[in-house]
Chain A
């Protein structure tokens, strides 16, 4: 599986936007970019995914670079409940789905 690189940790003030970056320079043409998050003491939770175009859903937005070698997860207004580890994962064909170390997001009240 292609590798992703994320910062280990980030901080954000409550009610401000958060941009979580992910680099995936070895992405292949069929790899989807997925974002999951893991709140403390819970299982991973799907956030958003995309292939080439930017995507929006009720939780977040995903901005994908034109060359697809990087992407950014955007939380439009961070809340304390958004404090979690956010994982950027490339998913191609096959059933493996590998988590990296992710970005630990701290939201400051």
Chain B
């Protein structure tokens, strides 16, 4: 069964450093997403991406964050100048050509755990 692959599985960084989290979505999917989950809290939407641009973003996704699809396979989340409160599990997801209809199903990766010291 096709999978969404995320790397690294765990990253430890110092406060103020930049972090890039990488995702390989399912190959024929067109919509890409990042979510985060702070330990013990709910899964929070960060951003969605389609046709090489951000289609929607939450208020969490401020100037500290950016996303990019640098080639045909990778989808990255960059966090500039990390803060302690950025420590969380970050999930990438992708969905197929159903697009923005309510029927579209998301496939999630296993997540990247970010620890900011």
Measuring CB to CB, which residues of chain A are less than 8 angstroms from any residue of chain B?
Answer: 30-32, 34, 36, 38, 42-46, 49, 51, 87, 90-102
Which B residues are CB-close (under 8 A) to A45? 108
Q: B residues touching A (Cβ–Cβ < 8 Å)?
A: 31, 33, 35, 42-45, 48, 50, 55-56, 58, 91, 93, 100-111
**Considering the chains assembled together, what is the distance between the CA atoms of A69 and B105 in angstroms?**
21
The answer to whether A95 touches B109, judged by C-beta atoms less than 8 angstroms apart, is no
Whether the Cβ atoms of B45 and A97 lie closer than 8 Å is yes
Contact assessment for B103 and A97 in the assembled complex, using a CB-CB cutoff below 8 Å: no
30 A-B residue pairs with Cβ-Cβ distance under 8 Å, sorted by A, are A30-B102, A31-B102, A32-B103, A36-B106, A43-B108, A43-B109, A43-B110, A43-B111, A44-B35, A44-B93, A49-B103, A51-B103, A87-B43, A90-B102, A91-B102, A91-B104, A93-B100, A93-B101, A94-B56, A94-B100, A95-B31, A95-B33, A95-B55, A95-B56, A96-B56, A97-B33, A97-B45, A100-B42, A101-B42, A102-B42
Shortest Cβ-Cβ A-B pairs, 5 listed: A32-B102, A95-B48, A43-B108, A99-B43, A91-B102
Q: Which chain B residues border A98 with CB–CB below 8 Å?
A: 45
Give the shortest distance, in Å, between A32 (CB) and chain B (any CB).
4
